[in-house]
A = this chain, B = another copy of it.
Amino acid sequence: MKIIRNPKIFQRLMDRLRRRGKTIGFVPTMGALHEGHLSLVRRARKENRVAIVSIFVNPLQFGPKEDFRRYPRNLSRDRALLRREKVDYLFAPPAGSLYSAGYQTLVEVAGLSRVLCGKFRPGHFWGVATVVAKLFNLAKPHRVYFGAKDYQQAVIIQRMARDLDFDVEVKVLPTVRDRDGLALSSRNAYLLPSERQRALAIPHSLAWAKIEVQGGNRNLRLLRTGVLRRLRSELDRVDYVEFMEPDTLQPIKKIPSPQPSPPRRGRGKGEGVVLLAVAGWAGKTRLIDNAIITP
């Protein structure tokens, strides 16, 4: 595995790979890698001639009171993990190198950035969309891989790629969970043992809602209250519990009717299914999770 720190050198290398006809699979990360990241890396490895990972803790996507400084960083461990996955190139630019003096360009995916986490983390998704646009231009990938745990992020990046005509396929792979059901996240490292125990209310409440809907409960208000109650009993704060249309992130007015399977021709992939997205706090750690529910 080659490690490259200089953005221009990285870009030149990627351009050369493309010119030689190699397909590039790319996994952008902020490091502190876990099995969720590694599942993306394995897929990138499998579907492309060259597998690329970037590690960059992007200051632009952190609010002034957020955890940019203490965000877990462990490059030597990450490096070892990626070597084991036979990654070809690791792009790890130094902190200052992506936003030089006079930097002033932002990419905004307007509507999708204003709901869910966008309400609680103003500017966060501009930072995400902007750094991902930069990374697309540097890595020149054929395919990129994101995890469904950060569902809103994934939808925003798919939208941005399409809107700005990036020549890239954005793939979203399932959330990887610990044995106890907690979605893997680099931020889980912040949790004290007791907080981690209480955080299990998140996957439990999602599982509860799924069973309820699939058992025929179509009362949105009761479903929402049920999830909220389960979360509130364990978490220190709940930011949101939302049932939404998965592609547009618009609130749904009712649980859609069960759809005949296989899907009808012409039906969008998000049609007939519901996104349940939640965010809350265990101690000082903000956690998010979601479920795609097929009634």
Contact = CB atoms under 8 A, between A and B. Distances in A.
Contact of A137 (B103, B104, B167): B167
A108 interface: yes
Interface stretch (A156-164, A203-211, A220-228): A156-164
A91 B109 CA distance: 26
Contacts of A106: 107-108, 110
A105 B19 contact: no
A256 to B, nearest CB: 19
Nearest to A134: B165
Question: Taking each of A109, A130, A137, A159, which has the highest tally of chain B beta carbons within 10 Å of its own beta carbon?
Answer: A137
Interface residues of A, number: 33
A111 interface: yes
Given A19-B18, A19-B21, A163 B7 contact: no
B107 A164 contact: yes
Contact of A140 (B98, B103, B111, B167): B167
Q: How many copies does the complex hold?
A: 2
Contact of A104 (B104, B110, B138): B110
Interface in A101-139: 102-112, 129-130, 133-134, 137-138
A217 interface: no
A271 to B, nearest CB: 14
A15 interface: yes
A203 B248 CA distance: 51
Contacts of A160: 105
Interface in A221-238: none
A1 to B, nearest CB: 22
A39 interface: no
A18 B7 CA distance: 20
A109 B102 contact: no
A164 B60 CA distance: 13
Nearest to A113: B104
Contact of A105 (B21, B104, B164): B164
A119 to B, nearest CB: 17
11 contacts: A11-B165, A11-B167, A19-B19, A19-B21, A103-B163, A104-B112, A105-B107, A105-B164, A106-B107, A134-B163, A138-B165
